[in-house]
């Protein structure tokens, strides 16, 4: 039997892609889920609530957390930091606003959401925070220095946080997906999502499986790659 039944979760970036599928699969496991994003997802379920949230705005996050606790209570067991985006561009061509925008969502927003849930998780002496990073958080990526910089920041944040919070029984896991078939690539010239990429539902299942791990098992990093990203050679 799943250990997740009856737990409560916040999933950011829930409107589509990996976040949407994580929310759906958690609901299947009996988890009460509150989704945070700017757009409402196509989810109809008695245990799902949506709170419109801009994670890059501290006031929006604090308001969302207050509304969430009013909806399902303060005992939030799981935070999925999934909200994020990337913009490609050579460093001398990438607009400064795009650089700052990626840091505001991918780094500052992740920190705002984490700060919101940690005090109550400490009181509960349990919790699990999952940061959906990217393979760009481990490896360099040509013409994506801004995005890679944000994801390397997530790597350092998550690793430091797990050392900081483990004495309170709080797990912290960084997940590094490679290419996933989502709309992430819609604005990238010459790159399209294709069938050799991983499916978002499969990445989501890997996340839900680690959330359902033994209480004394701490999965620090999970790296996921497509088997044949360029197809059969």
Position with higher pLDDT, 99 vs 231:
99
How many folded domains does the chain comprise?
A: 1
Given a cut of 70, whether residue 94 has pLDDT beyond it is yes
| Apex 205 CA angle, 136 and 43, nearest 5 | 100
Average of pLDDT values for 106-131?
Answer: 99
Which amino acids are annotated catalytic? Answer: 147
Domain residue limits at 216? 8-224
Q: Is residue 229 part of a domain?
A: no
Q: What order do you get walking across the sheet with 78-81 strand by strand?
A: 48-52, 32-37, 8-12, 78-81, 127-132, 170-177, 221-224
Q: Is residue 3 part of a domain?
A: no
From the list 204, 110, 124, the residue with the least C-alpha distance to 169 is 124
Q: Is residue 108 part of a domain?
A: yes
Model confidence pLDDT, tens digit, residues 119-136: 999 999 999 999 999 999
Confidence label for 188 from pLDDT (cuts 50, 70 and 90): very low
Q: Is residue 95 part of a domain?
A: yes
Average of pLDDT values for 79-84?
Answer: 98
For residue 216, give the CATH number of its domain: 3.40.50.720
């Amino acid at each position: 039997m799943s250990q997740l039944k009856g737990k409560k979760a916040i999933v950011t970036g829930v409107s589509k892609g990996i976040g949407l599928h994580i929310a759906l699969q958690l609901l299947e496991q009996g988890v009460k889920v509150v989704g945070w994003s700017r757009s409402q997802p196509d989810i109809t379920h008695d245990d799902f609530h949506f709170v419109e949230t801009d994670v890059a705005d501290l006031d929006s996050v604090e308001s969302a957390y207050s509304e969430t606790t009013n909806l399902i209570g303060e005992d939030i067991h799981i935070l999925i930091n999934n909200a994020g985006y990337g913009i490609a561009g050579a460093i001398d061509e990438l607009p400064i606003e795009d650089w700052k925008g990626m840091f505001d969502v991918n780094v500052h927003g992740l920190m705002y959401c984490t700060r919101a849930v940690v005090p109550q998780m400490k009181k509960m002496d349990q919790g699990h925070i999952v940061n959906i990073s990217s393979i760009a958080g481990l490896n360099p990526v040509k013409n994506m220095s801004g995005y890679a910089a944000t994801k390397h920041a997530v790597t350092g944040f998550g690793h430091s946080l797990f050392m900081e919070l483990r004495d309170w029984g709080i797990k912290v896991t960084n997940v590094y997906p490679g290419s996933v078939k989502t709309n992430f690539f819609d604005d990238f010239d010459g790159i399209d999502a294709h069938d050799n990429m991983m499916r978002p539902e499969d990445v989501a299942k890997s996340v839900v499986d680690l959330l359902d791990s033994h209480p004394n098992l701490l999965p620090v990093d999970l790296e996921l790659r497509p088997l044949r990203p360029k197809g059969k050679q």
